[in-house]
Structure 1
Amino acid sequence: MTDPVVHYGFLSILPALIAVALAFITREATFSLLFACIVGLFITGDGLWGVPGLFEKAMGNVDFIWVLLIEVFIGILVAFFQKTGATQEFAKIMETKITSRKKIQLFGWLLGMFIFFSDYFSPLFTGPVMRNLTDKAKISREKLAYIIDSTSAPMCVLVPFSAWGIYIAGLLVGYGPIKDNTMAVNVFFKSVGFNFYAIFAVVMVALFALKIIPEFGPMRKAEERALKEGKLFADGAIPMMGVELSDIKPAEQIKKPRIFVNFILPVLVVITFALGTYIVLGSAKTLEAFMLAVLVLGIALWMQKIPMKEIFSTGIQGIKGIIPAIIILGLAYSINTISKQLGSAQYIIEVTENWLTPALLPALVFFLSAFISFSTGTSWGTYAIMIPIAAPLAFQFSGGEITTLVFATVGAVAGGGVFGDHCSPLSDTTILSSFGAASDHIDHVKTQLPYASVAAGLGLVLYLIIGMF
């Protein structure tokens, strides 16, 4: 592949725009992403011959392999849950305690917020736990995907001591009077109140569940379809979870599901290990947590007289079931890679940087961060690009002092960056939310985007108001 340049002008953002537009038009995410990648390769001059190199660069690295392995072990764990019949039994028990659609949605909201330490762990855990409950309550898969997506990345970026907070704080060190990590964390902490998008995204889930805000747009149609017709999916929808995983029947050897051993214990293993390593080591060992849970539940299956051959066969079915998600995730990583090579973020910044004024700084920084993250599907990449631009400008306009303008600007970058992670069809956490809910990916994006846009619009208005004072 050719070496990257600063940018290719408008062509720099063309592949991402094509991917998003085609995904909405065709409702076929795999084709849309693959076609956009090929267009990007022709722009760089690599053409079709560049496909192997692109895939190697995008997927032959530690980051992608880590996410892939998490999905693999999630697939195995869900398959084991299906084999024991434990998730169905858990749903029956919870039905007696959570008796309405409103309470079920609020339970999913609270569960998602509880897993604040990992935007990957949150949707992959909350989705499978909630799915049987929401299905029986006739809550659409699109709504479930929205609930778990809105409580993953938006929640993570609001917690100052999460990996997100530490990362953003680390990027702030060296700008203005921020001399060390302690000062940077303090600045980020005070900026959380100005992260309007993330706050609105999380709060809106509860407001919709309580019917304080009525459903609207495509989500309203999805909910009416599920409630009145009993259709959890739209006609023609392709769930991100393969039938190999969703069609697994409970083992004949297990006459009565042991809810503690077959469900609660593995869940406690995952939460305790992930949260424990986060507290002790400062980094949640999400992959290792799921690996340990798979081992524990595999041993439990064997002790309940399930033949080893059947256990391994069930695990293989689980891996097959996550293949649709893996394919889309791999292509999303590929389009992100080609966007970096084309310099899409640099082009967007160059086009808009001349508009910056103190009054417009928070609003424009939010808009830029949101556009970059939506186009590339990466929030952390957006932070790495935008903090070195936004922070010096904020301090320049504030006379080198840490003022409200600085807090608002940092909050705007944080919120704008999470916008793409929340609703871009190219985002890994959006894909994982579709997988966790076993929802059609494009239907998830189409139903969630209007809600996310409302949160973004409200945030933009508040940033404009702040800029006036």
Structure 2
Amino acid sequence: MDGMTHMGFISVIPAVIAVALAFKTRNTVFSLFIAIFIGVLLTGEGLMAFPTLLKTSLGTTSFSWILLLEIFIGILIAFFQRTGAIQGFTEVMKNKKLSRKKIQLTAWVMGMFVFFSDYFSPLFVGSTMRSLSDDAKISREKLAYIADSTSAPVSVLVPITGWAVFISGLLVGIGPVETAEQGMLIFTKAVFFNFYAIIAVVLVGLFSAGIIPEFGPMKKAEKRALTEGKVLRDGAEPLVGEELTDTPPYPGIKTHVFFDFLFPVFIVICIAVGTFITLKSAKTMEAFLTASVVLGIIMRIQGIPFKDIMDTAMKGMKGIMPAIIILALAYSINGLSKQMGTANYIISITETWLTPNLLPFVTFLIAATISFSTGSSWGTFAIVMPIAAPLAFNFSGNEITFLVLATVSAVAGGGVFGDHCSPLSDTTILASTGAAADHIDHVKTQIPYALTAAGFAAILYLIIGFVV
């Protein structure tokens, strides 16, 4: 691990402060701001390093992409509401007289169906199922959990996603892997060993079906919703603007669920999946841009004035802003963590006692710790895969063995753990946004379930390490 620099224990302090303050104050923006400010001071670069960090972290193609993506998603959801599409979809579902259990299972299936984008999935499931789940007295925390657990955990299991391309690309040049095709083959085989993602997705179905009873903070949230009719706790602050929850349909409009809802979703799926197959890169942002423009044209044809369409688009942008602010700060603290060598420090403290038997287990724990601390799964993949995969190939004699597959999947599953439940994670933030749930309430209720999945996964990796 030569060349891996870090600032020692100091490097983990900003992440610890951010998480601790978030739980204590229930204010994510404040917590992230203070953590970043203290972290900048710890680097010894002075106060001016704070605005510099913001500029370097946010002035990137990566952040610009997610910023535009979230804006177009916000516009699309606002259009759905102004056309009455979401309300129409809700009425169709209400006519089916689904039970509370079936509503949760429907949300679970919908989340897995939108596998191509871990960003759109939680927003789509949350916004479309929210009214239905509210009527069924399902807590917003539960809806956010379902939406969150069927986004990143599903995306990392499907070979035709950006996740698969990114992870398989990281394997190129390691051991016997010489091409992207060989990397993808290893990723596909390793899917069966991605225990965390598999268990996390299955648990949602088991909890939704009532096969496994609720426990921990989620049990209290569900009891509150059922007995008191409060889908949000008293004093909760939903992570979404009222523009995306209270926008009424345009007066007198005749809603067409197909043209106003299903057709735009179909456009998103076709462009995202189609570009992935043809260009090897899913053009998700472009897909939502196209769907927004097409739905805007449909709205005009239906008789909605151009001015109203533009006002609705602006409301969509405004409604998604709370999530974008937190995402911006999360990106900044992630940039600070890279600068301080947080991940390098976590990895360095294991190198003296790592053995082949413990490799998958330790790799999973390290990846999970890094991803939870930084809120970045892809950042974790980029850091841990180039270290863990060569070790696995070295131990296996450059052969693609179960040890190699388990180690690759341990990196993928560990990275998803943080993306799934860290208060700093973008998809966790978007799940809170889609369900209109209090962000910290969502994190608190979900963590016990995520830790349960992580516990089972860690045990399985430990077993594999000693069996194979």
TM-score after normalising by structure 2: 0.96
- Give the secondary structure class of the aligned counterpart of 1:186: helix
Q: Which 4+ residue blocks in structure 1 deviate beyond 4 angstroms?
A: none
Tell me if 1:430 matches 2:428. Answer: yes
For residue 426 of structure 1, report the CA deviation from its aligned partner.
0.8
User: 2:247 — aligned with what?
Assistant: 248
Kindly indicate whether the alpha-carbon contact (under 8 Å) linking 1:253 and 1:306 is maintained by their aligned counterparts in 2.
no
Whole-Å Cα distance in 1 between the matches of residues 45 and 116 of structure 2?
40
Aligned in 2, Cα 1:398/1:129: closer, same or farther, shift over 3 Å? same
For residue 281 of structure 1, report the CA deviation from its aligned partner.
2.0
User: 1:368 — aligned with what?
Assistant: 366
Aligned in 2, Cα 1:162/1:259: closer, same or farther, shift over 3 Å? closer
| Superposed CA offset, 1:384-433 (max 9, x none) | 11112111211222233222111111111111111111111111111111
Kindly indicate whether the alpha-carbon contact (under 8 Å) linking 1:422 and 1:430 is maintained by their aligned counterparts in 2.
yes
1:54-65 equivalences in 2 (<5 Å):
54-65=53-64
Whole-Å Cα distance in 2 between the matches of residues 279 and 5 of structure 1?
37
Unaligned runs of 5+ in 2: none
Aligned in 2, Cα 1:185/1:258: closer, same or farther, shift over 3 Å? closer
- Give the secondary structure class of the aligned counterpart of 1:272: helix
For residue 67 of structure 1, report the CA deviation from its aligned partner.
0.8
Whole-Å Cα distance in 1 between the matches of residues 175 and 244 of structure 2?
53
For residue 5 of structure 1, report the CA deviation from its aligned partner.
8.8
For residue 176 of structure 1, report the CA deviation from its aligned partner.
2.3
User: 1:340 — aligned with what?
Assistant: 338
Tell me if 1:386 matches 2:379. Answer: no
Tell me if 1:45 matches 2:48. Answer: no
The percent identity for this pair of structures is 62
Whole-Å Cα distance in 2 between the matches of residues 189 and 5 of structure 1?
30
| Superposed CA offset, 1:294-315 (max 9, x none) | 1122122222222222221122
Tell me if 1:183 matches 2:197. Answer: no
Whole-Å Cα distance in 2 between the matches of residues 404 and 304 of structure 1?
57
**Across the two proteins, how many residue pairs are aligned to each other?**
465
User: 1:88 — aligned with what?
Assistant: 87
For residue 456 of structure 1, report the CA deviation from its aligned partner.
0.3
Q: Quick one: which of 311, 326, 332 aligns to 2:324? A: 326
- Give the secondary structure class of the aligned counterpart of 1:355: coil
Residue identity matched to 1:171: L
For residue 98 of structure 1, report the CA deviation from its aligned partner.
5.3
| Superposed CA offset, 1:133-180 (max 9, x none) | 212222111111111111111111112232212221221122222232
Whole-Å Cα distance in 2 between the matches of residues 197 and 95 of structure 1?
34
User: 1:353 — aligned with what?
Assistant: 351
Tell me if 1:100 matches 2:127. Answer: no
Kindly indicate whether the alpha-carbon contact (under 8 Å) linking 2:4 and 2:344 is maintained by their aligned counterparts in 1.
no
Whole-Å Cα distance in 1 between the matches of residues 307 and 392 of structure 2?
62
User: 2:466 — aligned with what?
Assistant: 468
User: 1:7 — aligned with what?
Assistant: 6
Kindly indicate whether the alpha-carbon contact (under 8 Å) linking 2:196 and 2:453 is maintained by their aligned counterparts in 1.
yes
Residue identity matched to 1:131: R
User: 1:151 — aligned with what?
Assistant: 150
Q: CA RMSD in A?
A: 1.6
For residue 233 of structure 1, report the CA deviation from its aligned partner.
1.1
Residue identity matched to 1:14: I
Moved more, 297-306 or 225-234: 297-306
For residue 317 of structure 1, report the CA deviation from its aligned partner.
1.5
Whole-Å Cα distance in 2 between the matches of residues 182 and 77 of structure 1?
35
Kindly indicate whether the alpha-carbon contact (under 8 Å) linking 2:372 and 2:422 is maintained by their aligned counterparts in 1.
yes
Moved more, 234-243 or 390-399: 390-399
Residue identity matched to 2:43: T
Kindly indicate whether the alpha-carbon contact (under 8 Å) linking 1:5 and 1:341 is maintained by their aligned counterparts in 2.
no
Residue identity matched to 1:280: T
Residue identity matched to 1:415: G
User: 1:419 — aligned with what?
Assistant: 417
Unaligned runs of 5+ in 1: none
Residue identity matched to 1:358: P
Residue identity matched to 1:120: Y
Kindly indicate whether the alpha-carbon contact (under 8 Å) linking 2:161 and 2:282 is maintained by their aligned counterparts in 1.
no
Moved more, 118-127 or 413-422: 118-127
Whole-Å Cα distance in 1 between the matches of residues 267 and 403 of structure 2?
43
Residue identity matched to 1:126: V
User: 2:26 — aligned with what?
Assistant: 27
Residue identity matched to 1:335: I
For residue 282 of structure 1, report the CA deviation from its aligned partner.
2.2
User: 1:267 — aligned with what?
Assistant: 265
